[in-house]
Copies of this chain bind each other. A is one copy, B any other.
């Protein structure tokens, strides 16, 4: 029996050892030829390339990561890809990553701290070079702080934990909400409702999402500034489309019916529309609606919906850039990128200052 140096015919493919043997050179020379470093004779290069093609050689990124210390992979910890907003963020993020040679591992948290902790652990073990996170909770974020302490490159998107020393990419949620409500007040509305994000306490933590809270605070401040009171019935806590629908249906059937309802996000706005249709009210004649985030369907409802549009895709690309910059320069000062929103006037808000 001869000593078997490299036995096994791995199903997955051949290593650079096989290529070198096929080409009749050493491993080092084959690696140089394929890796494009050092100096290799034209003859050797040709033979190595021919051997690689013949064997169907494919570099083993795992082994490469082992020695280079980078995986060329980023992680994304978001609530839910099937939420159109996050889907667009992720698309932007993957595009930004891909253009720099990085790939993206996707983890859904469903706004659950437990899932976020577990996802972060897995991504850390997989040694991703950087992580995008839309934090599930402002309160329970020790795991994120710990990751940052350990030198993990992190970027917070859409919302952020105040004390956390990372790059941040958001839109100006407070200002956007404030300005939108101010506009609506300016055209005569005094009874404006805005269902509030219901905190989820099932895992013992208060899941407060800063983006939603800020939008709502903008609404409250605009109302207060105009000297308008906000009855608590106008800000029922709800979670998800169906809960919002129920909550809004309740206020629409009450004596003190609002003249306008503000949807803090996509699912809220859908729930509001559900409720309005369920109560057989006409938009905008009997009730006005405006929402946050401009998804594909806002132009196919009648009347088309007035919204605060946010650049979800750009949020993702900007996050990718910030993360790649952070990876390249770990000690550069942290930055907070605030992307602009756009108010899109369509036809879902009635101007009460005009008679008729």
Contact = CB atoms under 8 A, between A and B. Distances in A.
Contact of A62 (B84, B91, B126, B301): B126
A90 B62 contact: no
Contact of A121 (B58, B94, B270): B58
A82 B73 contact: no
A297 interface: yes
Interface string A99-135: 0000111111000000000000111111100000000
Contact of A274 (B60, B299, B313): B299
B94 A103 contact: no
Nearest to A122: B103
Contact of A12 (B82, B95, B127): B127
Interface string A62-96: 11011001010100000011111001101100110
A101 B105 CA distance: 14
A62 B330 CA distance: 22
B65 A62 contact: yes
Given A90-B81, A103-B122, A106-B94, A302 B299 contact: no
A150 interface: yes
Interface string A295-337: 1110111100000000001000000000000000010000000
A273 interface: yes
A71 B270 CA distance: 40
Contacts of A330: 11
Nearest to A127: B62
B82 A87 contact: yes
B105 A73 contact: yes
A90 B56 CA distance: 30
A315 to B, nearest CB: 12
25 contacts: A11-B330, A12-B69, A12-B150, A56-B150, A58-B125, A60-B127, A61-B126, A62-B62, A63-B66, A66-B66, A84-B296, A94-B107, A94-B108, A98-B107, A103-B122, A103-B123, A103-B126, A241-B296, A270-B296, A270-B297, A273-B300, A295-B297, A297-B297, A301-B302, A302-B302
Interface of A: 10-13, 56, 58-63, 65-66, 69, 71, 73, 80-84, 87-88, 90-91, 94-95, 98, 103-108, 121-127, 146, 150-151, 241, 270, 273-274, 277, 295-297, 299-302, 313, 330
Given A12-B150, A270-B300, 19 more contacts: A59-B125, A60-B125, A61-B127, A62-B66, A62-B71, A62-B126, A66-B66, A73-B126, A81-B87, A81-B91, A82-B84, A82-B87, A84-B84, A94-B108, A98-B107, A103-B126, A104-B105, A241-B296, A274-B300
